[in-house]
A and B are shown apart, each in its own frame.
Chain A
Amino acid sequence: MSVVRVEGVRKSYGALEVLKGVSMQVERGEVVAIIGRSGSGKSTLLRCLNGLEPIQAGRIEVAGHTLDSSGKGLRDLRKDVGIVFQSYNLFPHLKVGENIMLAPRVVLGCSRAEARARAEQTLAQVGLAEKIEAWPDNLSGGQAQRVAIARSLAMQPKVMLFDEVTSALDPELTGEVLATLEGLAQAGMTMLLVTHEMAFARRVAHRTVFMHQGLLHEEGPSEALFSAPRTAELRQFLSGGLK
């Protein structure tokens, strides 16, 4: 059964059409990597899935919630979809624990104790249980990103979106974040990742999607896609390095 269903989604910024009719599906428990050049629309697609960018045409269904160009059902959808950003976007005025507790408390109406329990549990899951009273500004980039992941997990989402979550990190810090992602994948979380980490995508993602000029250009099981790309564009992309 599909947890994410995207049908003919179109998105423009002014005259520039970024998504030109994208359709895809993600099954429960599946890990899908989205790769492509910058400007190919991969991050935009992810942001559309969470309603951060309004779409001009098409239909997005996530965990049973439908999002169309009218923008209805947005908050219900967001309760079930977590997103982690490249720049962490932790709230600087709240301690780590409070960052995580905010949404469970004000959105789900959890008691303080329950929200706290969720914070403790998700922090343990990302290996940062001892940071619950720390301020975001005192964390390393890798730690901040793992807290951001814990913050999304605390909403107990059905799907997690990751938007280039290691791109802002120093090389020696990407490992800890990727390990956290891998742990999530093994625990059965449904995940969509926009990433430049090709080795990671190949090893962890069940399926990889190559986006090119606003369209899904090629997709398939990761191993097959990376070892035997069918289209010239993907071959060129894979041989040409990251960007």
Chain B
Amino acid sequence: MIREFGTSELWFVVSSARWTLALTLIALGLGGVLGFVIALARVSRLAPLRWLAAGWIGLVQGVPVLMLLFLSYYGLSLAGLDLPPLVAAGISLSFYASGFLGEIWRGCIQSVPWQQWEASAALALSRAQQYRYVVLPQAVRIAVPPTVGFIVQLVKNTSIVSIIGVVELARAGHLVNNATFQPMRVFCVVALVYFCICWPISLAARWLERRMHVGRAG
């Protein structure tokens, strides 16, 4: 039976955005923790750690998100973990986020001038103390705008997990379209919801970046 694209369908699409947001937050949290470890490993004094981190970043940035999804989905189930799609999706998106955030944050850590390391070493701070009190506070400031910018990529890429049956925005659009056969209307609404989530974040990222440049010039 063909249904009209009415308010209940509209509500179904809009409310499914909560899963898009949930996936984004999961990936941001888990991926952020993992990404932070990777960023530190990437600038570690131990060469094998650096290589491992570089390899992970190269892998994540060198394959489609779709492949990360399939690999974690099938890999985890082969490992005997029969995970619900939502969890598998969250894990794969976390891997994805960790590779990009790790690389972004590595750049931020390295953009702190080496004199800062020298100066803090001269004060007899340990390596951990140098990170904790001198380098990271400066790196975090630099990291905020590109990190916020990356969230937009993350939100958009959650759409890919629709293929394993997580009913987030894109999947909801697909389901409604199958019932109504009004793809133009349905997917424009879906796009609009994504836009309403992403655009403010993009604007915020740009505003933060501009503010930082002004701050540096002044």
Q: Indicate yes or no for A touching B, C-beta below 8 A.
A: no
The chain B residues found within 8 Å of chain A, CB to CB, are: none
